[in-house]
Amino acid sequence: MVDVRFRKIHGAGNDFILIAGSSADLDKDWSDTARRLCARRTGIGADGLIVSALIDTDPAVLGVACFNADGSIATMCGNALRCAAWCAATDHSFHDMTLVMAGVKHQALVGDDGSWVTAEAGAIDPRCIELVWNGHALCFDSAHTGTEHVVAVVDNVDSLDAEECGRLVRHHPRLAPLGSNVNFVQATGPQALKIRTYERGVEAETLSCGSGAVAAVVVATLHGLVTDSPVTVHNRSGTPLTVRPHAERSSAFWIGGPVTLTYQGELT
């Protein structure tokens, strides 16, 4: 790999290495590259690798591929999409665009209030997993938001070891063979949640998760913990995301928040 420019970028703490390439790059297998570059001690370090390519300009369409730190392909990553949209807005002055990830189209808006993308939420499977962990009775509902998530509503997210418990649940037999992202959610008000997420593919607790924030809102709404309005989802990064219903599609939500460019570099 010679003279390939990259950005180190993060969406509310969920960090990525982003390469703006060509449409041909979207068809390549970047798994080995993702594992090498995302390694925290020997690579650049990131939760994932994003490869984006401009497919059309009128209207603006961007192809986005995301590879997790372990080299697996992400079918949906809200923060990766938000970062890709932010970069497209910076590079091409697009502020309203369509992003295509794993064959699924997402709307994107980039403005003064942050970078926003859409996510579709499927049906909830309530109480799909029940267990006791270190004296905590946990009940998980599953919610598909473009990728697999399970969500447990708890009294205090800070009292749990989200990484250890998350890893256990991620490999639960009921979730085989794919496993799942695992979220622990606490309601802190009628329009506010606090979340911790163990991400499949990163195989660790991450500072923020866009699709997990949507899953948390969907489950919390079902339990009557938040109202059907914009919800602020506070994460480990201290930079919250906002999830709000889509005005035109009942099963869709907008995820929004800041995107930050950490630095740029060149791969040789």
Counts of helices then strands in the chain (DSSP H, E): 4, 17
Structure tokens belonging to residue 112? 């003064």
Structure tokens belonging to residue 242? 């906002």
> HSE of 199 in the Cβ direction (CA atoms, 13 Å)?
28
Contacts of residue 8, Cβ cutoff 8 Å, sequence gap at least 6? 15, 16, 17, 18, 44, 46, 261, 262, 263, 264, 265
Catalytic residue list contains 77: yes
* Closest to 196 measured CA to CA, from 186, 91, 36: 186
**Residue in 38, 83, 165, 209 annotated catalytic:** 209
Catalytic residue list contains 87: no
CB count within 10 Å of CB 127 equals 10
**Residue in 38, 66, 77, 87 annotated catalytic:** 77
CA distance 170 to 229: 30
Radius of gyration of the chain (CA): 18
Question: Given phi > 0 = left and psi -120 to 50 = alpha, else beta, which region is 126?
Answer: beta
CA distance 80 to 159: 29
CA distance 45 to 152: 29
- Give the residue numbers annotated as catalytic, written as ranges: 77, 209
